[in-house]
Structure 1
Amino acid sequence: MSAIDQLFTELRGAKRKALMPFVTAGDPEIDTTEAILRSLAGAGADLCELGVPYSDPIADGPVIQSSYQRALESGFKLQQVFEMGKRMVGEVAMPRVTMVSYSIIHRVGVEAYVQKAVEAGYAGAIVPDLLVEEATEFAQICKAADFSLIQLVTPTTPKERQVRIAKSSSGFLYYVSVTGITGERTALPSDLVDKVTWLRGETDLPICIGFGISSPETAATLAPVADGLIVGSAIVRRIAQAEGKQDAVEKVSKFVQQLRSAIDAV
């Protein structure tokens, strides 16, 4: 059983919804990223999504695109993700997954990437640009390593394809709440709950909703239908507005605490 499988088993037993903040690796530099990651569990996060900066972002809105650009301009290297992970092994129990382009994985080597990630304590990878038709080999390698391969389903994905994606995924399904790019929104589609409810009947995988969750109120609205909630742009924006590492940690921790309280109150 992978670390993510174990986590969701425990969460379901406790009737608790997963809260998953997104943080861009290396924004504004890797020391701040590590400090934030170390603070998240204490603030109420259950797992964390670590974005690997890429020069050609996929479905990322301006807030996250800007964070990738800042990280790359400050000299971010993929090796920093692995080195940081190793420093946290045995110290931070909260599962961490990378959000990474398949082109980066392919460049490293599929088996090599999974091995490096596992050695660095990562529990899985969200791969937004991996087509389900091309996922079989990678899914097998991930399964052999107890490393979760998390794939995305969007509101416009045909139902038959959603089921195929679910069958080739592990850990959880990432359900994109809106069409378009990431970013904070004041309203989400009225049929979102119905679509997620349908998908829940087609798979045993936990379903986590991301894109557009900008406030504790939005999180509370979605908590009843989701197994977990992913919050990205609202957190990345707070990091960008912070004045130094400690301020970034405090701003993110406070917001995560607010999200946790809102979700638990439902």
Structure 2
Amino acid sequence: MSAHESQVARAIRAAKQERRGALVGYLPVGFPDLDTSVAAAIAMARSGADVLELGLPYSDPVMDGAIIQEATQTALADGFRVAHVFEAIRRVREAVDVPILVMTYWNPVVQYGVERFAQDLLAAGGAGLITPDITPDSAAEWIEISERLGLDRVFLAAPSSTDERLALVTRSTTGFVYTVSTMGITGERAQLDAAARELTARLRAQGADLACVGIGISTAEQVAAALDYADGAIVGTAFVRALRDGGVDRLSEVVRDIAAGTARS
């Protein structure tokens, strides 16, 4: 862990002091277009998201469910470019003081240049990266650069991981460990997996300080259930659907509804 406490970790701790824990909200940049995605991210922060997770649309999204895939395809068809991510972060940060993590597959970062990407992310006011498809043992360059620049690096932990792997993830991650409740793709399920609870306990045993659980959370009740054992709940599909079906107004309403799950009972 870095000596500095990251803005993401601070936001999660603040949410835990005030409420049950944090809500992390995901939306792809550029959906349905760049300006609307900026307005949507600002609305999400104002409606109760403690941390924003902005997705970088990518042509081969192996982990995303149908609704998120459809949104990222729309963004790509609309002419999305990587530079739009930094523009979006700058514009959102001018409006709200909420930390922003970029969720990205690794290939676009490599294509852009890891050092250049990190510098542009920092300059825009971004807090760090969530990297679903690289593991700490193949991320030496990113670990070095993020340490140097003070950017968060959020790695994923899955139920299939060995304890040794979970220890490596815990040591290498800053901000929070992204706890994946199933090995499947993102999307909603009626019941949160017992797997997420067990995985979080295994991460704690390996020394994980902050863990947020994602994949499958879509209601205030599921947020509250996740916050029984995790420090934050990550919601994506439900927010993307709300934006798609009812624009920024509907999104704000759904974020407020789901954020109610973070309140102390």
TM-score by length of 2: 0.93
Matched, 1:28 2:26: no
Tell me the equivalent position of 1:57.
Answer: 61
Tell me the equivalent position of 1:261.
Answer: 260
Tell me the equivalent position of 2:150.
Answer: 146
Contact kept, 8 Å, 1:54 with 1:101, in 2: the verdict is: yes
Structure 1 residue ranges without an equivalent (≥5): 243-247
Matched, 1:238 2:237: no
What amino acid does structure 2 have at the position aligned with 1:140? E
Q: Any idea what the Cα deviations from partners look like across 1:207-234, whole Å, max 9, x if unmatched?
A: 0000000211211211111110100111
Offset of 1:16 from its aligned partner?
4.0
Tell me the equivalent position of 1:211.
Answer: 215
Offset of 1:84 from its aligned partner?
2.2
Match of 1:44, SS state, is coil
Pair 192,5 (structure 1): closer, same or farther in 2 beyond 3 Å:
closer
Structure 2 residue ranges without an equivalent (≥5): none
Contact kept, 8 Å, 2:170 with 2:203, in 1: the verdict is: no
Contact kept, 8 Å, 1:36 with 1:252, in 2: the verdict is: yes
Tell me the equivalent position of 1:180.
Answer: 184
Q: Any idea what the Cα deviations from partners look like across 1:158-182, whole Å, max 9, x if unmatched?
A: 1210111111111111000112101
Offset of 1:15 from its aligned partner?
5.0
Distance in 2, matches of 1:187 and 1:15, equals: 23
Matched, 1:107 2:106: no
Match of 2:88, SS state, is helix
Contact kept, 8 Å, 2:102 with 2:130, in 1: the verdict is: yes
Q: Any idea what the Cα deviations from partners look like across 1:58-114, whole Å, max 9, x if unmatched?
A: 211111111111111111111111122223344321011100111111111111111
Residues matched between the structures, number: 261
Matched, 1:249 2:239: no
Q: Could you tell me the percent identity over the aligned residues?
A: 34
Contact kept, 8 Å, 2:19 with 2:264, in 1: the verdict is: no
Pair 140,233 (structure 1): closer, same or farther in 2 beyond 3 Å:
same
Offset of 1:198 from its aligned partner?
2.4
Tell me the equivalent position of 1:166.
Answer: 170
Matched, 1:223 2:223: no
Offset of 1:258 from its aligned partner?
1.1
Tell me the equivalent position of 1:134.
Answer: 138
Match of 2:194, SS state, is coil
What amino acid does structure 1 have at the position aligned with 2:97? A
Match of 1:56, SS state, is coil
TM-score by length of 1: 0.93
Offset of 1:130 from its aligned partner?
1.0
Contact kept, 8 Å, 1:172 with 1:207, in 2: the verdict is: yes
What amino acid does structure 1 have at the position aligned with 2:35? D
Tell me the equivalent position of 2:96.
Answer: 92
Aligned-residue RMSD, C-alpha: 1.5
Contact kept, 8 Å, 1:47 with 1:96, in 2: the verdict is: yes
Contact kept, 8 Å, 2:19 with 2:263, in 1: the verdict is: no
Contact kept, 8 Å, 1:184 with 1:213, in 2: the verdict is: yes
Q: Any idea what the Cα deviations from partners look like across 1:181-218, whole Å, max 9, x if unmatched?
A: 01111122234323212212322431000000021121
What amino acid does structure 2 have at the position aligned with 1:35? A
What amino acid does structure 1 have at the position aligned with 2:56? V
Contact kept, 8 Å, 1:45 with 1:256, in 2: the verdict is: yes
What amino acid does structure 2 have at the position aligned with 1:64? I
Pair 63,252 (structure 1): closer, same or farther in 2 beyond 3 Å:
same
